[in-house]
Amino acid sequence: VSIGRWPFSRRGHREIMKSGLKLAAVTVIVVSGACGRAAARENASSPTPDAAYLKSYDKWKAELVDDLKQNWLSLAGLFWLKAGENRFGSDPTNPIVFPKGPAQAGVFALDGTIVTMNLSPGVRATVDDKPVTTIKLQPDISGHPTVVELGSLRIKAIVRGQRIGIRVKDVDSEAVKNYRGPVFFPIDLSYRVKATLVPNPDKKTVDVPNVLGDTTPTASAGVVVFKINGQEVRLTDLGGNPAKGLSFVFNDLTSKTDTYPGGRFLETDPVVNGTVEIDFNRAYSPPCAVTPYATCPLAPKENRLAVPIPAGEKYDRTQAHH
């Protein structure tokens, strides 16, 4: 599965799901520690964001929160299938234990790459509002995944490398109801920089690791070059398109203390005349920061920066899933 426009990236998720995002409330920002103090010092000489920037930034954060609630916080399970029959239900004696629903709900049968869901007698489920008892599940990579509704649960098959699994979402999730929102460093416009794109003429790929231990060769539009506090920095695009915008997974020195260790996501507007704006205030944590049921990429070696970037989303290690 190509990591470019990855299905857990907000830009990629919009392209795959073809759904709009709604505005939602965003929490107040808190900053602490050495990186926070460094950011505060930078702010002393950093330009003050104008009203248009603040409006756009608040809208972006609201979309981020809504995407998390709609697509990630509601995840309630991820189960990798074995060849043959895989019994499932809420009874803990099942190989696949659902968080709720019938005790013995049925069986997922895996034959090669084909997943068939067979429901137990009396178990009611629907697909597109039509009752089903047996159905072949089209996976997420098909572009038209089968979604089975079983009470408040939504069930679909996913493919990750050689793995085939079942992902479960709960539309009545307590995690969504209790979510307090992401925490960000204060806006610091010294971390909004102009970068030059050095195109990739050889169409070479970048090996991007993920939390499952897999590595995926990923197309790259090239490398952007810019300066942070006088130091030259380079970031390699992962699956972006200069005409639409570049995509990055990166980490930096703050990942040891204040930000998600595996790396943060960052997307840009289109490249114009060979240059593009990189706004680290819009760097955000992957879904793995809020759920153990995502399969996020990690920053490749090309994007592990030797500078601190105290801007964008922070990470609460007391809530760690990995």
Cα→Cα distances 53→28, 91, 194, 281, Å: 17, 51, 16, 11
Dist CA 106 CA 22 (whole Å): 36
310 in Cβ contact with 35 (< 8 Å): yes
Comparing 29 with 277, the larger pLDDT belongs to: 277
- Distance, first Cα to last Cα, the chain: 22
Q: In the block, which residue shows the tokens 């790259």?
A: 220
pLDDT number for residue 45:
58
pLDDT number for residue 146:
98
Give the mean pLDDT of 85-93: 98
Comparing 69 with 10, the larger pLDDT belongs to: 69
The tens digit of pLDDT for each residue in 120-129 reads 999 999 999 9
Strand partners, 217: 207
Task: Tell me the longest C-alpha to C-alpha distance in the chain.
Answer: 69
The tens digit of pLDDT for each residue in 293-322 reads 999 999 999 999 999 999 999 998 776 654
Strand partners, 223: 198, 236
Is it the case that residue 11 has pLDDT exceeding 60?
no
pTM here is 0.82
For the chain, give the percent of residues with pLDDT over 70: 85
Dist CA 2 CA 16 (whole Å): 13
Is it the case that residue 32 has pLDDT exceeding 70?
no
Give the mean pLDDT of 34-47: 48
Dihedrals phi, psi of 86, to nearest 5 degrees:
-130, 100
The tens digit of pLDDT for each residue in 143-194 reads 999 999 999 999 999 999 899 999 999 999 999 999 989 999 999 999 999 9
Dig out the tokens for 187 from the structure.
């806006």
The tens digit of pLDDT for each residue in 181-201 reads 999 999 999 999 999 999 998
For the chain, give the percent of residues with pLDDT over 90: 81
Is it the case that residue 275 has pLDDT exceeding 60?
yes
Q: Is residue 36 very low, low, confident or very high in pLDDT (cuts 50, 70, 90)?
A: very low
Q: Is residue 97 very low, low, confident or very high in pLDDT (cuts 50, 70, 90)?
A: very high
Dihedrals phi, psi of 176, to nearest 5 degrees:
-70, -45
Strand intervals (E) in the chain: 75-80, 84-89, 96-97, 106-111, 114-119, 125-127, 130-132, 134-137, 148-150, 153-160, 163-170, 192-199, 205-209, 215-219, 222-228, 231-236, 247-250, 264-267, 275-279
